[in-house]
Copies of this chain bind each other. A is one copy, B any other.
């Protein structure tokens, strides 16, 4: 039994079709300048021999390399730190694929800062991944980049009406609905008020989660009453303060849905009110902190997104688009993770197995 290797080269196809390598290449890559009849012969040969292009050889011969900018938030938000780490890992991986990432950190709460960053982005970038703010100036900047041929993907937070090529992130309304379903079911028919603590409802992802949550609670759990959202700006101290006020004002509060970050502050507020055990609390993002609150029982469920998956996906999508390769759509769908006490992954939650081999992964901004 011979070992069928399956190895069929373009050369074989050319021979079979009785044309030269160059012509076979033109046909296979749909380049112009080949007679119908010749093309047909080549296509026949492709089918007959079961030819599949060798991606490694194609990449090598094309000899193109790419440069991408990743624009991430400044600050100490734990999830964003994970994301930054994972972008580093992705950069190391991409470097082996002739693609190079520069990471820039900006204040994403400020549309002008992020808009300006995009507007001034050096032209040598083939692609950019940006944790965006849905604002006209940002949208315009994205559209301009797209117009000049730079591939733009939005990361974690989308700008739906822009001309961005792709959005890498979870379906936030669905995440909110999931939180709503869990909240309603965990409360098992109990009657009471639900508090909402968001970072800022001006952030599209927060607003969308709130929307989805509301939808489910209003539609399926009429005994629950959602209070007006309070904003903690994703900061620990401020989140603690607003949560404290919420708890003091509504002694009959049965649940809290934390839409954004600042969960350490919320935990403090809940604990100092002595409500750890009975108050139902659902939050976003699995970090070292939410993980602990989940184990302690203060936090009842976490809705998560996988930072590693998001970073890799952004890198893959940019690379594929710039180099004209196909992606596997299923692989680029970022799922909503749900964590309860039973399925908390082993420490450290999604920590990065960084292996950068002496490479400076994060170049500075303007270089």
Cα(A186)–Cα(B184), bound, Å = 9
A335 at the binding interface (Cβ < 8 Å): yes
Stretch at the interface among A134-142, A262-270, A350-358: A350-358
The answer to the question of A70 belonging to the interface, with a C-beta cut-off of 8 Å to chain B, is no
Whether, in the assembled complex, A180 has its beta carbon less than 8 Å from a beta carbon of chain B, the answer is yes
Residues of B within 8 A of A171 (CB): 343
Tell me if A54 counts as interface (CB < 8 A to partner B).
Answer: yes
Within the complex, which residue of B177, B353, B359 is in contact with A52, where a contact is CB–CB below 8 Å? B359
Determine if B181 and A340 form an interchain contact, defined as CB atoms under 8 angstroms apart: yes
Number of interface residues of A (CB under 8 A): 78
Given contacts A96-B55, A100-B6, contact A312 B340 (CB under 8 A): no
- Check B337–A355 contact: CB distance below 8 A: no
In the bound complex, residues from chain B placing their C-beta under 8 Å from that of A55 are: 56, 96-97
Tell me the residues in window 224-248 of chain A with beta carbons closer than 8 Å to chain B beta carbons.
none
Contact with B along A160-183 (1 / 0, CB 8 A): 000000000001001111111110
Minimal Cβ-Cβ distance residue in B for A62 = B56
Cβ–Cβ contact B187 & A328, under 8 A: no
Chain A contacts with B in 302-316, Cβ cutoff 8 A: 306, 308-309, 312
Q: Is A250 an interface residue (CB 8 A)?
A: no
A76: interface (CB < 8 Å): no
Kindly provide the distance from the CB of A299 to the nearest chain B CB, expressed in whole angstroms: 13
Residues in B with CB closer than 8 Å to A124 are 1, 3
Please indicate which of the listed interface residues A3, A65, A335 has the most CB atoms of chain B within 10 Å of its own CB. Answer: A335
A39 to chain B, nearest CB (A): 15
Q: Contacts A312-B328, A326-B355, A331-B312; is A97 near B56 (CB within 8 Å)? A: yes
A60 to chain B, nearest CB (A): 5
List residues of chain A with CB under 8 Å of any chain B CB: 1, 3-7, 46-47, 50, 52-57, 59-60, 65, 67, 86, 89, 93, 95-98, 100, 122, 124, 171, 174-182, 185-190, 212, 216, 220, 300, 306, 308-309, 312, 326, 328-331, 333, 335-338, 340-343, 345, 350, 352-353, 355, 357-360, 366-367
30 contacts between A and B (CB under 8 A): A1-B124, A4-B367, A5-B65, A5-B67, A6-B67, A7-B65, A55-B97, A57-B60, A86-B330, A89-B330, A93-B328, A174-B343, A177-B343, A178-B342, A178-B343, A182-B340, A182-B342, A185-B186, A186-B188, A187-B188, A188-B190, A216-B341, A306-B335, A326-B355, A329-B353, A330-B350, A330-B352, A330-B353, A333-B345, A336-B343
